[in-house]
């Protein structure tokens, strides 16, 4: 497994978990072309809690969001604490860490839920991702980071 995705990962992951781990590795490495290969054409990404007011994203919007935000982060890593699997669902408790180009340290906590389906050629793909974030931290961090980036003359995409 990538040094960007680590933690409580079984040595022989199920096919469902392996798809999720490969997807998360692509995200952490900023390889968004590879990231999209793990997603169905009707993929949807949802951020929770809904009180954050973040709209759901389809595959194209989710990819573009990552392409736009990733350049502002350096060395993005994901630490997995717990994995729960059942049927076509993989759930993770994890945290991420990185440093932004403004020098701020980012460290958010997540509960991630992935729904997988069989693709036409028999491989598994992710149809839906629900991402529960530490809403207080995320709200405060991204508001402050936007101000830092704009003060430096950058257009921050959030």
Could you tell me the domains of the chain? Answer: 5-151 (3.10.450.50)
Query: Which pair of tokens denotes residue 1?
Result: 């497994």
In angstroms, rounded to a whole number, what is the distance separating the alpha carbons of residues 51 and 49? 5
Query: Which pair of tokens denotes residue 143?
Result: 């508001």
* Inter-residue contact 135 to 125 (CB < 8 Å): no
pLDDT digits (tens, 9 = 90+) for 44-55: 999 888 887 888
Q: How far apart are CA 103 and CA 106, in angstroms?
A: 9
**pLDDT tens per residue, range 71-100:** 878 888 999 999 999 999 999 999 999 888
Distance of alpha carbon 131 from alpha carbon 6, whole angstroms: 18
pTM reported for the whole predicted model? 0.85
What pLDDT was estimated at residue 144? 67
Whether 60 and 33 have beta carbons less than 8 Å apart is answered as: no
Q: Which residues of the chain have pLDDT under 70?
A: 1-2, 134-139, 141-145, 149, 156, 158
């Amino acid at each position: 497994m990538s040094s960007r995705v680590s933690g409580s990962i079984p040595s022989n992951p199920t096919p469902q978990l392996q798809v999720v781990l490969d997807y998360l590795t692509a995200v952490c490495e900023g390889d968004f072309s590879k990231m999209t290969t793990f997603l169905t054409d009707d993929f949807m990404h949802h951020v929770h809690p809904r009180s954050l007011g973040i709209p759901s994203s389809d595959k194209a919007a989710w990819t573009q969001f990552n392409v736009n935000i990733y350049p502002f982060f350096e060395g993005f890593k994901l630490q997995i604490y717990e994995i729960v699997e059942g049927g076509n669902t993989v759930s993770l408790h994890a945290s991420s860490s990185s440093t932004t180009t403004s020098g701020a340290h980012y460290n958010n906590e997540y509960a991630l839920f992935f729904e997988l389906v069989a693709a036409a050629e028999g491989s598994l793909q992710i149809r839906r991702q629900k991402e529960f974030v530490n809403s207080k931290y995320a709200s405060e961090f991204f508001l402050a980071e936007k101000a830092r980036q704009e003060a430096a003359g950058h257009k921050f995409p959030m």
